[in-house]
Amino acid sequence: MVPGMKSGVLLFVWAGAAALALLSGCTTVPETGRRQLMLIDASQEAQMGLSAFADLKTQQPICQDPVATERVRRIGLRIAPAVGRDLPNADWEFVVFESAQVNAFALPGGKVGVYTGLLNFADSDDELAAVMGHEIAHVSARHGAERASQSLGVAVLGAGVAVATEDSKYRDAINVAFGLAATGTVLKYSRDHESEADRIGLLYMARAGYDPAAAVRFWRKMAAREKSGVRMPEWLSTHPADETRIARLERWLPEMVPIYEAHR
């Protein structure tokens, strides 16, 4: 390395890291007031979501049952205005995909997919609305873009650590420690995003006139369904433990019930 270059590179890297830290409060999730790191343009994020959804519709079989399709569309069109603000380039579309997965997803741009496995598992429209509200909340809170921004921040910090420890005999140990710390932080953020989407999803379904207590019923059923499987420790998981999720939903219910009563 050219003399003096190492200190210059190090200064540049840590200046970039400092800039990222300053940007960490550049956006706020309206429903919770949480500040978030956001380095991805909202319009760009929406275009990526629209493109990804178009690809999915060519790659996965779409359910042809008009009753199932209308059920999802009806619920979605009640939840969409309950978001209470415009999403960039939102062109709401609700599609049912043929799959045994008990799951759903939403992408930037207002695209929502529901698997037939979830339709068969959800006993009521209220339970289905709980899952759809949760997935739409991920999009409105821009969790995907936030995770991408966090990954960029971790990469910059990792580069700084690598440069700073280049000549250290403890370099490998330090880099391993940084990697473990970064992974633990990313996993925690993922669990936090899930909990935030749970809370915002409760709000959306209540505003749409769906009983928020159904979210607790749904996750209790999911917990019973998954009870026999191997369970990863919560701190190593991207999602909160079922007991944690249910306890939080129950804690938030009292503030959501009056909203539901006003919109039912």
SS3 86: coil
Task: State the amino acid at position 247 in one-letter form.
Answer: A
What distances in angstroms separate CA 90 from CA 11, 45, 64, 206, 228, one per listed residue? Answer: 41, 11, 24, 21, 40
First to last CA, the chain: 68
Query: Residue 237: left if φ>0, alpha if ψ -120 to 50, beta else—which one?
Result: beta
- Whether 174 and 165 have beta carbons less than 8 Å apart is answered as yes
Can 93 be counted among the known catalytic residues? no
Catalytic residue among 31, 45, 127, 135: 135
d(CA 101, CA 121): 10
Phi, psi of 113 (to 5 degrees): -120, 140
Q: Which residues are catalytic?
A: 135
